[in-house]
Amino acid sequence: MTAPLDNIKVVDLSRILAGPWASQMLADMGAQVIKVERPGKGDDTRLWGPPFISPASGEPSASEAASIENTQASAAYFHCANRNKQSIAIDITTTQGQKILKALILNADVLIENYKVGGLKKYGLDYASLKALNPKLVYCSITGFGQSGPSAHKAGYDAMIQGEGGLMSLTGEPDGTPMKVGVALVDVATGLYSCNAILAALLARYSTNKGKGQYIDISLLDVQLAILANQGMNYLATGENPQRLGNGHPNIVPYQTFATRDGNLILAIGNDQQFEKFCRLAGCAELAQSSRFATNAARVQNRKQLLPMLAQKLAMHTTAWWVSELEQIAVPCGAVNTLEQVVKHPQIKHRKMIKQLPDENGDLIKTVASPVNLSDTPLVYKSASPNLGQHTRELLQTELNYSRAEIDELFSAGIIS
């Protein structure tokens, strides 16, 4: 079957997570993604471990881990965002390296980069220079604060953006300190927005833009504000800063975790009918009839009085009992699972969300699949994340017609690896 983005070529100059997340999505959709890395170390996340995944055995020994920079093992972090890609290691600070990269870009459809504002201009790799070289190019720049404004010059990292963009002020227990989310949510969301923008630009190129590419400016701070969703609108509507509620919800009650007899349960009651059914099951039907709790608006206003009473009821039975009984009466709920439990979840297994992909040596490496399922042009899962420079020789030969002698000379000069 044909993949959605067959015949689309992406040159990926991005590192860490946001850019690679976007390019991995494009690679899953069938695009050829050429990951350009620094000779020697490559993407920073190759060393963000342990844990590390060794191409030969799946997990390096303690001695290998201690000298990981001298091995081909890469951190599990790197593998979360770089499957289905080809790796070429080029020193783009050299004239010859820039020549090679521009030759790859000449016939590319997309370029993704996350250098500081203006960081690529000195190499002739800025949008204005590359637009002249390849007018059809869709050029996506990902930065912490955007291409313009008083903070444009600053570097941006997920955790600091979660703080500066307001997400940490909403996360954590009411009497605790602000907390970041347990994954790099802003980076991931930025990757999603970037991929959407790239697909829109490609569609425009084929329809309204008469074959021309365009420039995409994506900022982590902008994304952070955008994904505040209801909390952002809550502030705009009231002018009041939302308060931290732990696992509670600012607009719905009860919609949070509760301790059960043997664990924790997430109770996600979204309307008054569900609340009434829950109360009947829990043996507190009178709460659903009280004017203090009968409507969601009333429950939000009186959450401090209601929640302790519900907590007492929920502690009487096990998590499994509550899930079983609540599912029978269509009240949304779920166990608070560990990742081990999630991976073993029957629904996750049925949906085939954990896949195994071959690396350079044919060893299988586990990966979390894309959630995208297309009926006629399904996504592709070709290979695990590449070793650093794994495809350097192949790409120079097949894409640019370099001879073996020319490639050996570039290797000897340290321009490629």
Q: Which of 187, 272, 363, 408 is catalytic?
A: 187
What digits encode the pLDDT tens for the residues 149-184? Answer: 999 999 999 999 999 999 999 999 999 999 999 999
Terminal Cα-to-Cα distance of the chain (whole angstroms): 34
pLDDT of residue 416 exceeding 50, the answer is yes
Q: Are 241 and 231 in contact (CB under 8 A)?
A: no
Q: What is the residue type of 160?
A: M
The pairing of strands 74-75 and 52-53 is: antiparallel
Give 116-139 pLDDT, tens digit per residue.
999 999 999 999 999 999 999 999
| φ, ψ of residue 234 in degrees (nearest 5) | -60, -45
**CA gap 167, 179 in Å, rounded:** 8
Residues 117, 87 contacting (CB under 8 angstroms): no
CA–CA distance, 403 with 124 (Å, rounded to integer)? 25
Q: DSSP assignment of 190-221, as one string?
A: HHHHHHHHHHHHHHHHHTTSTT---EEEEEHH
| pLDDT of res. 73 | 80
DSSP string of 341-384, one letter each residue: HHHT-HHHHHTT-EEEEE-TTS-EEEEEPPS---SSS-------
Would you say 370 and 21 are in contact if contact means Cβ atoms under 8 Å apart? no
**Alpha-carbon gap, residue 145 to 164, rounded angstroms:** 11
The answer to whether residues 395 and 86 touch, using CB atoms and an 8 Å cutoff, is: yes
Average pLDDT, stretch 273-297? 98
The percentage of the chain sitting over the pLDDT mark of 70, rounded to a whole number, equals: 95
10-41, pLDDT tens digit by residue?
999 999 999 999 999 999 999 999 999 999 99
- Cα–chain center distance at 111: 18
Task: Tell me how far apart the alpha carbons of residues 299 and 306 are, in angstroms, rounded to a whole number.
Answer: 7
The answer to whether residues 199 and 121 touch, using CB atoms and an 8 Å cutoff, is: no
**Distance of alpha carbon 168 from alpha carbon 177, whole angstroms:** 9
Cα dist. 82→45, 150, 386, 412 in Å? 10, 33, 7, 27
Per the annotation, the verdict on 187 as an active-site residue is yes
pLDDT confidence tier of residue 190, bands split at 50, 70 and 90: very high
- Output the pLDDT for position 286: 97
CB 298 within 8 A of CB 291: yes
| pLDDT-based confidence at residue 264 (cuts at 50, 70, 90) | very high
Nearest Cα to Cα of residue 277 among 318, 322, 234: 322
Whether the pLDDT of residue 63 is over 80: the answer is no
DSSP for residue 112: E
pLDDT of residue 1: 76
SS3 of residue 317 by DSSP: coil
Could you tell me how many residues make up the chain?
417
